[in-house]
Structure 1
Amino acid sequence: MKKIRMLLSVVLSLFVVLIARHAFAAPAPSADFVLDVPAEFTASSITAVGDGLYCVSGDVFHDEVPNYSAMVALVDSRTRRTRWKTNIPYAKDHYQNSAGKCIRDGEFYYVLTEERTDSFEAQSHTQLIVSKISSTGKLLKSQRVDVARDVWSNLFEAGPEGLSIVGGASTDSVGRGGRRSLFWDRLDRDLSRKQLVVLPTGAFWTGTYAKLDGASLVISGAFLANAGTGASAREGYAVSKVDLSRERYVWSTFVYPLKMEAQRAVSVADGSIAYVGVNEDHLLVSVIDASGRVARSMSAQKAVCSVDALGVKAAALQVVGTRCGKPQSTLLLDMDPTTGAIASSRDIGEGTTAALIDGDAIWMVLAKPDSDRKIFRRVPR
């Protein structure tokens, strides 16, 4: 009888422990969390800045004007919170601005904003402003990227020599036939100019992939030639290698005509460039080798109508884009870069406004149609 009581006591104790564990166990962490940003904020860029931190850039819509103003937020994925958010004002006599890529260099953050000078398109120009922000989110300094009347960016990064901006410049807006140039602007960490290289041989438009290695630049995107030049006859989507120190193009390869709904490029391990484009009917894939030769061109079914992020995983290309016919739905495609075949496809979110492929995950900002909240999401690759 004593043994039976002892056994019952042990069973009862185990039962109580199990109940307690079940009642007080922490719920499994969600992959989503809410960003502390205004309901009117729209993210356009996500940058990994180290230590589990992500810089989210975009703009806030002001219905009463109406116009946009730039905002940047620093998001901590480990503590699942927004550390700070900072408004970046535009010039008093200008119309609006929006924040592009945000980068980190040491204890400071730098953000590139695009500023529109006028509400009337016929007389407006675009300016680039680079701003320096403290580790606590305080706006310290802003400096105009003074290259030409109309300026846009293709690359913004920090390196041992300071900050580098690669972009396009024009003597007038692109729609008004200005003379276009490719530029490389190098700044120190206090935003003073160290070097400026300008090649008046045409420019690459926004949405371009660019990779800088010292003074060697590989750039892929929509090339806008100057009227009356030999290149104007072959204006389209191109990949070029540029020697900035000698101020000359090493090679240029035209890949697609300009009639393309979306495009994006990425570097592959062997030094080649994988180029993914979307036209009216197909998803197109081209691989350009390190010498500028088109090694392969292929097409696949048109599963997405945008290319919001592009990466490489093992031997596959990964494409993040909006599902055709369902602009609120975002797909992740795995593609075979040797055949163009889509190996797999899965839904990863709705209402995506920005996406970043970083390491083993895809980071996204979602603006759900039925909510004012902006969601930060991690999706395993």
Structure 2
Amino acid sequence: MTNDRSRAWLFASLLALPMLAHGAAAEKTEPAESKWSKTFHVYGSTAVDGGECVAGDATKEGMDGRAYVYLKDSKTRQPRWMTAIPLADADMYQNRATHCFTMGGSLFVLVQTDTNQATSLSQTLLSVTELSPLTGKIISSQDADIPGIDDAYSAWVDKGSKGFHEEGGQIRIAGQYFLMENSEKRMPFTFTVAAHPAKKP
């Protein structure tokens, strides 16, 4: 019940928002009437059929963020639907939706998840969530681990479509990472994942 009530308050807040700017870095907007979320951050937005996909997070006083995606209707400029993307693991600290694009009749969203509130201990992990562009219903979700790295690391993808886009029917992800044992050394990564995760036997 609490989650439903929180989601209702956030949706009411989004309806009250003015037109959101296209996202570069996270842009903070103050919803007028939200009692659950004091801030909504827009991390990125992408034009899609019928409107605009807006990716971001909602926080409680700037902390404990939760990923949200909504489709802003091209005519009304209001949210047609809104979807909360849950944490993959209850032990994770927070997540945020940062990029989205459409391919093959689906909407794909990049989610970046922080494992710990303490920055020095936290890893940022990547995952991809597939949604229905018509309803916002979650179709699938898959981890997007950097191939060939066995040690603990933290990864992130900066703003812009270069970091998350379609390539040959797959999803290409590009960003930077560091090993937890050597956080000063930043290294680039680029890899692709299948659009749809393999079904488990």
Q: What TM-score do the two structures reach when normalised by structure 2? A: 0.68
Return the structure number with greater strand share: 1
What are the Cα deviations for residues 20-45 of structure 1, in whole angstroms up to 9, with x where unaligned? xxxxxxxxxxxxxx843773322221
Residue of structure 1 in register with 2:193 after alignment: 187
**Structure 2 vs 1, CA of residues 66 and 166 (structure 1 numbering), >3 Å: closer, same or farther?**
closer
CA contact (8 A) 1:150 1:173 kept: no
Residue of structure 1 in register with 2:9 after alignment: none
Equivalent residue runs for 1:1-381 within 5 Å: 35-36=14-15, 39=34, 40=37, 41-51=40-50, 53-63=51-61, 66-90=63-87, 91-135=89-133, 136-147=135-146, 148=149, 149-154=153-158, 155-172=163-180, 176-177=183-184, 179-191=185-197
When the two chains are superposed, the root-mean-square deviation of aligned CA atoms in Å is 2.4
Unmatched 5+ residue regions in structure 2? Answer: 1-12, 17-30
| Distance of 1:130 and 1:167 partners within structure 2 | 14
| Higher RCO (C-alpha 8 Å, min separation 6) | 2
How far is 1:66 from its partner?
4.2
How far is 1:96 from its partner?
0.5
Aligned pair count reads: 155
Point out the structure with max Rg over C-alpha: 1
Residue of structure 2 in register with 1:264 after alignment: none
What letter is aligned with 1:190?
Answer: H
**Structure 2 vs 1, CA of residues 99 and 88 (structure 1 numbering), >3 Å: closer, same or farther?**
same
| Distance of 1:48 and 1:162 partners within structure 2 | 19
| Distance of 1:127 and 1:66 partners within structure 2 | 18
| Distance of 1:131 and 1:87 partners within structure 2 | 11
How far is 1:115 from its partner?
0.6
How far is 1:109 from its partner?
0.6
Instruction: Give runs of ≥4 in structure 1 deviating > 3 Å.
Output: none
CA contact (8 A) 1:132 1:139 kept: yes
SS of residue paired to 1:36: helix
| Distance of 1:184 and 1:146 partners within structure 2 | 11
What letter is aligned with 2:129?
Answer: S
SS of residue paired to 1:109: strand
| Distance of 1:82 and 1:159 partners within structure 2 | 29
Unmatched 5+ residue regions in structure 1? Answer: 1-33, 193-381
| Distance of 1:77 and 1:173 partners within structure 2 | 47
| Distance of 2:100 and 2:108 partners within structure 1 | 6
SS of residue paired to 2:157: strand
| Distance of 1:173 and 1:61 partners within structure 2 | 29
**Matched residues, percent identical?**
32
SS of residue paired to 1:123: coil
